[in-house]
Amino acid sequence: MSEELTRLSARAAVRLLEAGEVTPLDLIDAALDRIAAVEPDVNALPTLSAERARDRAKRLMANPGMRPGDGRGWLAGLPVAIKDLMDVEGVRSTQGSPIFADHVPDRSHPLVERIEAHGGIVLAKSNTPEFGAGGNTFNEVFGTTLNPWNTELTCGGSSGGSAVALATGEIWLAHGSDHGGSLRKPAAFCSVVGLRPSPGRVTRGAVSNMFNPSSVQGPMARDVPDLALFLDTMAGRDPLDPMTQPAPERSYLDTVEAALAGGPEGRPLRVAWAPDLNGGIPVSREIRDVCADAARRFEDLGATVEEACPDLGRIGEAFEILRALIFVVDRSPMLETHREMLKPDIIWNTEKGLALTASEIAWAERERAAFVRRIVAFFEEYDLLLCPTTITPPFDASLRYVEEVDGKRFDNYMAAALITSAVTLSSCPALSVPAGFTTDGLPVGLQVTGKPRDEAGLLASAARFEQASGLAKLLPIDPKGAR
C-alpha cells in the first residue's frame, strides 16, 4: 500500500484525501517508508519532522472545513518538502551552513505558513549547498546529495535535494528557490519539473534584498499539472514582500487541465528555438541533439518552430555584478564574523561585490533594463523561447562545477550557468521539463521561457509538450548505481 501511495501524482493523492479514502497520516507513513528505503543511496531529505507532521495531520483531520478562500491550491493534508534555506517552526533549519547547524526557528517563513494554511504538511527539509550557492548540492552539515539516475553523479543545485526527493518518490511536491537556475538545473538533471516564477508571483518574505527581482521561490513536481497545483498553493500577495501581487482569477491547475482536455489554452503558434542562445554559450553536442528533437515536438502541437534568439548583449557580465551585489547585502556581515566557516564560493561572490564601483553597478542595471526591453519585443513575435536547461549532462558528484565544455573553460561556477541566469534577468517565467535522455541514460531538460508574467500560458504549453513526450510516466524511480 505504501508503494502504491508514493507512486501517485500529487493531484491523485489530494483527490483521495478529499474523498476520505486515505488520511494525511497514511501518506506520512507511506512517505517515511519510502524515505527509509532510498535515502541511504541519495541523501536528499536529511532532516525529517515526522512528529510535527503527524501533529499537524491530526489537527487538520479534526477540522475538515479549513479550506481557505475558493480552495485553489488546497493540498488537503499532503506531505511536502521545504528546501533547507527556509525556516520551518520547530524544525532544524541550517541553510546548509555550519553557522546555522543547530538553528531551530520559533516561527516559519511566510511561504511555509501559506503552504500549511493551504493544507500542506511539512514532512522534511531538502538538502542544499551552503546558502544555496552552487551548481552541486553538498555542504559541510549534511554532505552530498546524489543523482538517482546514477548515484556517482550530481543532482545539480541548489534545489538538488528537492529534485531527488521527487524523482525517487520520497515526496509528492517540493519547494525550491532560484537565482541563477536553482529550480531549473536540478529538475533537468533529475527528470522532474521545476518552475522559476515571475518576480512577485510567490512571496520571499521580508528578505534583505526586498526590491531585487533576481531571486525567487517556486515549486517543483514530477509533472506539470502537479507543478500548477503547487504554484496555486504558493501564489498570492504577502504584505511582507512588496513585490507580490494577488493570485490570478483563474487557477493555474484549471488552465493546465483545460489545455490537456483539448482547449485553446497554451496552444503556441510561433516558437523560438535557441540551442546555444545565439552562439553565446557552449552546449555539449548530446544535450543539443536531445533538446533539438524535443523542440521539434512543438511542431506536432501545431506550432511553427524557428531558430531565433533575443540579443543577449553583455547580460552575463551584468548578472555576475548584480549577483555579487546581492551577496554583499546578504553575506558581508558573515564575512566579517564567520569567514572561516564560509565556503570559497560564498567568499568569492561577496568579495567580488565589495570591490564593485558605483559605475559598474549602474552599468549592470542599465544593461539589465535594455535586455528586458529586447525580451519584451521578442515575445511580441514569439510565444515561447526554447533552449537546453543545462550545457552538459549530470557530472561527477565530487566536482563543484563543470570547468570546460567544447574547449571553453569557466573560471567560476556561475560562468557555466549563463543559459539559465540570462533568463533570470529577463524576469520572464521559465521552467525545465524533461526532454529525453543521453545515450548513457542520463536525463536532459528543456528550458521553456514564457512571455512576461504569463505563468498560465507557459504551464499550459509545457503540459501539452509533456503529454506528448510521455516522460513523466517514468517516475518515480529507484536509485541506480553507476553504469
Catalytic pick among 159, 182, 198, 461: 182
Query: Quick one: pLDDT at residue 70?
Result: 83
CA–CA separation, 477 vs 85, rounded Å? 26
Q: Identify whether 11 is part of a domain.
A: yes
Half-sphere exposure of 143 (CA within 13 A, CB side): 11
Q: Is the pLDDT of residue 23 over 90?
A: yes
Q: Identify whether 354 is part of a domain.
A: no
CA–CA separation, 64 vs 449, rounded Å? 39
Q: Identify whether 346 is part of a domain.
A: no
Torsion of CA 136, 312, 318, 208, to 10 degrees: -70
Q: Identify whether 162 is part of a domain.
A: yes
State which residues form the domain around 62. 2-315+359-474
Supply the pTM of this predicted model: 0.98
Q: How many domains does the chain have?
A: 1
Q: Identify whether 59 is part of a domain.
A: yes
Average model confidence (pLDDT) across the chain: 96
- Residue 373: CB partners within 8 Å, gap ≥ 6? none
End-to-end alpha-carbon separation of the chain, Å?
Answer: 31
Q: Identify whether 363 is part of a domain.
A: yes
Q: Identify whether 119 is part of a domain.
A: yes
Residue 158 among the catalytic residues: yes
Q: How many residues does the chain have?
A: 483
pLDDT digits (tens, 9 = 90+) for 383-405: 999 999 999 999 999 998 888 99
Indicate which CATH number applies to the domain containing 225.
Answer: 3.90.1300.10
Mean pLDDT of the 118-143 span: 97
Catalytic pick among 9, 49, 93, 158: 158
Q: Is the pLDDT of residue 412 over 80?
A: no
Q: Identify whether 152 is part of a domain.
A: yes
Catalytic pick among 9, 83, 198, 214: 83
Residue 473 among the catalytic residues: no
Residue 177 among the catalytic residues: no
